[in-house]
Structures are given as structure tokens and as C-alpha cells.
């Protein structure tokens, strides 16, 4: 039996063995986008209550991390009016733990006062993104129906914020339920009701860089990439005589892909140093003096 055949058998065996386990847990970050001057600032009590409501609902589906806690030592705290570019850069820069999905939302609220009543309106909009690739996953929006009345005697800002915050929290709960359902479908697809399902439609895009590998060696590695569990597609983004970069799309986690890649190099007897950061795997070939790294490709075609 050839090396590739043995490897395929191993992948199939492992796939059957792990089918009884749930899909890998997702690390999710909920972030407030308030760059729009009409949006409520992230340090406002209304935004904080909405953020807490959304996080609480999503906590049943994914592992939710608090932005302040995991960025306390590495990023400047207390910034407001942050753009989506800044938010995505922060999410990508967090490596402990690595963030898989980021939920970005903005909250809008207003109060209209007439001679006899005060009516408030609120709306929350946002989207879900793959933190590693920036791929758009889904969008969402909820708004209060026809507005709601707040006490006419509410004149101070603290009173208005408190009353508006009560309704905004309800909207946050509703939105959290919707997002949880969307995320559940993204993880399990049509088998969302089956807790043992392992199929996921959240794709992870990784860049695999092979430095010092000949085109023939990279071609040998590609044969194995096709049989990895979770494989979706791959394409070359750079091809040189001694360096190649592949964009590899998979539903597997980075840990699983890392194990498989190292197994392949060991199977092909290719020595290399490896490095992983964000969504990039880098392998640098180690050759010994007098070692013949070419393959006999005259057989098996």
C-alpha cells in the first residue's frame, strides 16, 4: 500500500472515530461599532446593555470573550468612535485566544417630544464576519415597532437613558436569539437540531507558505491536502521555483490542520521548520548536504 493510500485510510478512520463528537467550539467576540456620529457611543449605558444582552444569548452557541479582558495589556483602552477597520484589526490581532467570528453592531436611538407625549425609537444593526479572512457571514437588524412612550417627566439625561436602555435591552435579547439561530445554522447547517452533527459551513481560509520546496515537492504535498477532513478547496496565490503559497479553505480548526500538515511532511520525509500565526502557516525546508530531494515521477501516472 502506498504512503498516500495509508494516509487516506488514516483520515477515513479518524473521521469515523470523531463523528460522534460535536464540531469544534467557536471563539466569538462581540464588538460595538460607533464610528457613525448618529450611533450611540460604546461607553454609553445603552450600548453596554445591548452588548450584554447579545453576548448572553450567543453564549449558548459559542465561547464568548470579553474584549476588555483579552486586550487589556496590548491595546489602548477606552477608545470610542472606532471604525470597522479598527475593530477587525483588533479581532485579528488577538491570538490568545484566537478569534474565529466577530459580531459587530451599532445602536441608534432617538426621542421625539410633542406637547403631550415623549416617544423613543431604537434600532440595532450589524453583521457577522469571519475574523481570520474577513468573509461576510450574515447581517442583522432589529428595531422597536412604532416607538414607545417614556414618562413625560423624564427631563434629565440619566432618566431618559435609563428608560431607553430598558427597551434597548429587550431589542438586544431579541437580536441575540436571532443571531444565535443564525450562528447555529452556520455551524451545523441543515442538521442544526442534531447536537452530534459535525458538518459546518463556516469555512476557514488559511495561507500555506512553503519556502525552499521545489514545485515537485509542493505537488506531492497537494495530493495529501485533497484528502484532509474538512477540505473545501485550494488555489495557488504565489508560485516560484523555491517558494509556493496556497490559499487553503477548510472547515477544520487550525490545530487539526497543523497536525495533518506535520504528518504529511513526516510521511514524505521532508524536514522543515514550521510557524503559525493568525491564519498563516509557514514551512521552511531543511536540506542536508548531498541529499537528493527530487522524486521519481515516472511511475504512477
Supply the pLDDT for residue 290. 63
Q: Would you say domain 27-191 falls under CATH 3.40.50.720? A: no
> Measured between alpha carbons, how far is residue 193 from residues 14, 196, 208 in Å?
24, 9, 34
Q: For residues 47-55, give the mean pLDDT.
A: 93
- Residue 122 exposed, middle or buried by CB count within 10 Å (0-12, 13-18, 19+): buried
pLDDT band at residue 244 using 50, 70 and 90 as cut-offs: very high
Supply the pLDDT for residue 98. 87
Do the first three CATH levels of 3-19+199-285 and 27-191 match, i.e. the same topology?
no
| Alpha-helix runs per DSSP H in 18-156 | 45-58, 67-71, 84-93
Supply the pLDDT for residue 24. 57
Residue 282 CA to residue 169 CA, distance in Å, equals 45
pLDDT, tens digit, for every residue of 183-237? 888 877 654 454 444 444 578 889 999 999 999 999 999 999 999 988 999 999 9
Of 63-67, 122-126, 261-265, 282-286, the one with minimum mean pLDDT is 122-126
- Mean residue pLDDT of the chain comes to 83
Q: For residues 292-299, give the mean pLDDT.
A: 48
Any idea which fold 3-19+199-285 has?
A: Gyrase A; domain 2 (3.30.1360)
Supply the pLDDT for residue 196. 44
φ/ψ of residue 49, rounded to 5: -70, -40
Residue 3 CA to residue 262 CA, distance in Å, equals 15
Helix axes 254-267, 3-17, angle to 10 degrees: 150
Name which residue leads in pLDDT, 22 or 249. Answer: 249
Q: For residues 253-265, give the mean pLDDT.
A: 92
pTM: 0.72
Residue 163 CA to residue 142 CA, distance in Å, equals 18
Domain segments of the chain as ranges:
3-19+199-285, 27-191
Amino acid at each position: 500500500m502506498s504512503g498516500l493510500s495509508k494516509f487516506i485510510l488514516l483520515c477515513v478512520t479518524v473521521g469515523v472515530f470523531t463523528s460522534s463528537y460535536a464540531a469544534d467550539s467557536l471563539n466569538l467576540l462581540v464588538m460595538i461599532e460607533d464610528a457613525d456620529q448618529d450611533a450611540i457611543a460604546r461607553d454609553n449605558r445603552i450600548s453596554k446593555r445591548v452588548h450584554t444582552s447579545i453576548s448572553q444569548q450567543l453564549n449558548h452557541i459559542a465561547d464568548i470573550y470579553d474584549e476588555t479582558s483579552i486586550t487589556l495589556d496590548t491595546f489602548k483602552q477606552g477608545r470610542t468612535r472606532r471604525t470597522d477597520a479598527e475593530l477587525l484589526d483588533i479581532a485579528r490581532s488577538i491570538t490568545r485566544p484566537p478569534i474565529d467570528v466577530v459580531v459587530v453592531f451599532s445602536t441608534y436611538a432617538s426621542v421625539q417630544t410633542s406637547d403631550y407625549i415623549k416617544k423613543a425609537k431604537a434600532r440595532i444593526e450589524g453583521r457577522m464576519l469571519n475574523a481570520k479572512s474577513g468573509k461576510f457571514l450574515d447581517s442583522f437588524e432589529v428595531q422597536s415597532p412604532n416607538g414607545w412612550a417614556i414618562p413625560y417627566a423624564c427631563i434629565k439625561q440619566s432618566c431618559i437613558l435609563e428608560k431607553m436602555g430598558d427597551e434597548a435591552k429587550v431589542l438586544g435579547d431579541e437580536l441575540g436569539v436571532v443571531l444565535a439561530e443564525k450562528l447555529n445554522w452556520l455551524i451545523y447547517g441543515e442538521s442544526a437540531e442534531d447536537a452530534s452533527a459535525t458538518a459546518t459551513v463556516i469555512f476557514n481560509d488559511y495561507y500555506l507558505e512553503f519556502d525552499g520546496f521545489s514545485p515537485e515537492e509542493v505537488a506531492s504535498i497537494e495530493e495529501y491536502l485533497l484528502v484532509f477532513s474538512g477540505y473545501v478547496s485550494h488555489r495557488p496565490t504565489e508560485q516560484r521555483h523555491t517558494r509556493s503559497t496556497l490559499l487553503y479553505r477548510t472547515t477544520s480548526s487550525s490545530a487539526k490542520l497543523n497536525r495533518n500538515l506535520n504528518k504529511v511532511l513526516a510521511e514524505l520525509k521532508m524536514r522543515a521548520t514550521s510557524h503559525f500565526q493568525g491564519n498563516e502557516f509557514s514551512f521552511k525546508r531543511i536540506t542536508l548536504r548531498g541529499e537528493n530531494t527530487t522524486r521519481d515521477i515516472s511511475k504512477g501516472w
